[in-house]
Amino acid sequence: MIYTSLFFIEQNVYLLLFNFYKLSPIIPIQGVLGALKQKSKFDFYTTS
């Protein structure tokens, strides 16, 4: 149950990102993903 809802949320996030990328091609998606990766790395280092 939890797994499927998490999967559903993940799918929605991908859809949002895709639509966001389609609607605003000015903002490079690579930069956004890079920022997210940096943030997750930062979170990882702060929690551990």
- What percentage of the chain has pLDDT greater than the value 70? 52
Domain with 12, as residue range(s), is 2-47
pLDDT of 38 over the 70 cut: yes
11 phi, psi to nearest 5 deg: -60, -40
Measuring CA to CA, which residue among 23, 42, 46, 45 is closest to residue 34? 42
pLDDT 10s digits, 13-32? 888 877 776 766 655 666 77
Residues 6+ apart with CB under 8 A from 48: none
Q: Does 36 score more than 70 pLDDT?
A: yes
pTM above 0.75, yes or no: no
Rounded average pLDDT over 22-48: 68
Alpha helices, DSSP H only, in 1-48? 2-23, 29-47
CA 22 to chain centre: 15
Query: Total structural domains in the chain?
Result: 1
